[in-house]
Amino acid sequence: MSAYIISDVTAKDADAFQIYRTRAAASIACYGGRYLVRGGPIEQLEGNWAPRAIIVVEFPDIERARTWYRSPEYAFALEVRDRALSRNLILLDGISQES
């Protein structure tokens, strides 16, 4: 069953953000992840949540997503994260095709 990493991101430093983004994308690919959403316009339909940029990454399963998050490849991206951006980040399981 697929799993999803969802980020609500605010860029802080454009150069550092580009470095982080490049490194993160490479690490995601190494663990079988793929971007489903990578920024773009947001249309608020209800509530008070006002995200700046939403990123959704799909992984084959939740264990692969956890392995990616703790991986040395992603740690390389994290070296610049605090300078590059602030964010909220969550991990969740998808639903099975039988549901």
Which domains, and CATH codes, for the chain? 3-42+51-81 (3.30.70.100)
- Residue 21 confidence (pLDDT) above 80: yes
Q: Which residue has the tokens 């489903």?
A: 36
How far is residue 45's CA from residue 55's CA, in Å, rounded to a whole number? 18
The answer to whether the CB of 68 falls within 8 A of the CB of 62 is no
Average the pLDDT over 25-36 and give the result. Answer: 98
Q: How big is the CA angle at 73 (ends 69 and 32), to the nearest 5 degrees?
A: 65
The two counts, helices (H) then strands (E), for the chain are 4, 4
- Residue 99 confidence (pLDDT) above 60: no
How far is residue 82's CA from residue 12's CA, in Å, rounded to a whole number? 9
How far is residue 59's CA from residue 94's CA, in Å, rounded to a whole number? 10
Q: Which of 3-17, 21-35, 58-72, 85-99 has the lowest mean pLDDT?
A: 85-99
What's the confidence (pLDDT) of residue 97?
A: 75
Residues in a beta bridge with 10: 86
pLDDT band at 96 (very low <50, low <70, confident <90, very high): confident
